[in-house]
Amino acid sequence: MSRLHKLATSGALFVFYLVLPETTSAQTLAELYDITILVLYGAVGFFGAVAFLYFFGGWAIYFARRGQEYRQEGIYHMLHAVRILSCVLVAAIILYFLE
């Protein structure tokens, strides 16, 4: 097991122990690791969906409204959505290698 993998696992276990002390005391580390990965994949999926909706909201603003400042606002929202999607992609790649 790599050092990063051990660090990530121990950090996630500590967080789960603080949030759910009764559940973590009854489960093995392997089961808790699986739950942690599942929760993190759910978070990545949720933020990916939010970023897509944010992008299409900016796209709708860009095409639906006329005027330069509304187009700039639409571009602003689309750029932020691309930034969020790039962060989600990096998080998904990290999760893939942790798993």
The sign of the CA dihedral 10, 16, 18, 22 is: negative
DSSP character at residue 20: -
CA–CA separation, 34 vs 23, rounded Å? 14
Amino acid, single-letter form, for residue 61? I
Query: What pLDDT does residue 1 have?
Result: 47
Q: Give per-residue pLDDT as tens, 35-67.
A: 788 888 888 999 999 999 999 999 998 888 877
Query: What pLDDT does residue 38 have?
Result: 83
pLDDT at 12 over 60: no
User: Which of the residue ranges 35-39, 40-44, 76-80, 90-94 would you say has the lowest mean pLDDT?
Assistant: 35-39
Task: State the CB neighbour count (10 A cutoff) for residue 31.
Answer: 12
Task: Report domain extents, the chain.
Answer: 48-99
Query: What pLDDT does residue 85 have?
Result: 93
Question: How many secondary structure helices (H) and strands (E) does the chain include?
Answer: 4, 0
